[in-house]
Amino acid sequence: MMAVGALASRGNDLRPERTTELIALVRAETDRADALSKHAAALRQEVDDLTRRRAGAAQGPEASALQAAGQAAGTVPVSGPSVTVTLTDAPASVQPAGVADDLLVVHQQDIQAVVNELWAAGAEAMTIQGQRVGARTGIKCVGNTVVLHGVPYAPPYVITAIGDQTRMEQGLRDSSYLTIYRQYVDAYRLGYEVTRQARTEMPAFTGPASFARADAVR
């Protein structure tokens, strides 16, 4: 065993101090991350408790303002009549000559166009793939998937908005970008479907939030 160890070490320490230091560092950072996660959870709970007490004590215009702010930020669940837009890639069997494959799939700008038109048409709340959309929500293409709040999704992409259904549907029809998109739908069988729901329940946004600055409510 001594001979095998000597050959394996080639004259070096088989268990250098550096390895021990790295293991200790990883353990220390893991413990630190766990502690920070628990602290963040406690702070979120404190904020939620204070918000509920503030909302319960508020009356009149202040209560309405708090409710409107929570809805705009997506931090409270909402419900109401909605419109859903579903976008899907063209079938794999569709391979028109001279048309790049890139034009036969849904991109982030297509999703963003739908989202922007729905907001412009008076949408009061929105979800993408069931995730609540807020003021800081970003949509990003990564390969053949779309990432939302750090979670990758494959098509079909489902965008649902609560609000005036007729007005939102008209906004989608009037969009110059979506008019071109629908031409590709007709020509190359990209998926585009608009449906109505009498009542939709939307969850509150539960992801992390980071801000560069904040102002006190006056």
Of 159 and 38, more confident: 159
Q: Residue 156, preceding bond cis, omega within 30 degrees?
A: yes
Q: What average pLDDT does range 55-62 have in this prediction?
A: 62
CATH for 78-202? 3.30.70.1880
Query: Per-domain residue ranges for the chain?
Result: 1-57, 78-202
Report the side by side order of strands in the sheet with 131-132.
131-132, 125-128, 157-162, 78-88, 191-202
**Residues 78, 79, 82, 87, CA torsion sign:** positive
Ramachandran area for residue 53 (φ above 0: left; ψ -120 to 50: alpha; else beta)? alpha
pLDDT in tens, 64-96: 666 666 566 666 889 999 999 999 999 988 888
pLDDT exceeds cutoff 60 at 1: no
Kindly state the helix (H) or strand (E) to which residue 31 belongs, with its residue range.
helix 17-57
Rg (CA), the chain: 26
Report the side by side order of strands in the sheet with 139-142.
139-142, 145-148, 151-153
pLDDT exceeds cutoff 80 at 211: no
State residue 69's pLDDT score: 61
Confidence of residue 148 (pLDDT cuts 50, 70, 90): confident
State residue 113's pLDDT score: 96
Whether 133 and 115 have beta carbons less than 8 Å apart is answered as yes
Q: Which two tokens stand for residue 139?
A: 């949509």
Whether 194 and 159 have beta carbons less than 8 Å apart is answered as no
CB atoms within 10 A of CB 199: 9
Nearest to residue 115, comparing CAs of 70, 172, 63, 48? 172
For residue 147, give every residue at least 6 positions away whose Cβ sits within 8 Å of its Cβ, in sequence order, or none: 139, 140, 141, 153
Q: What percent of the chain has pLDDT over 70?
A: 71
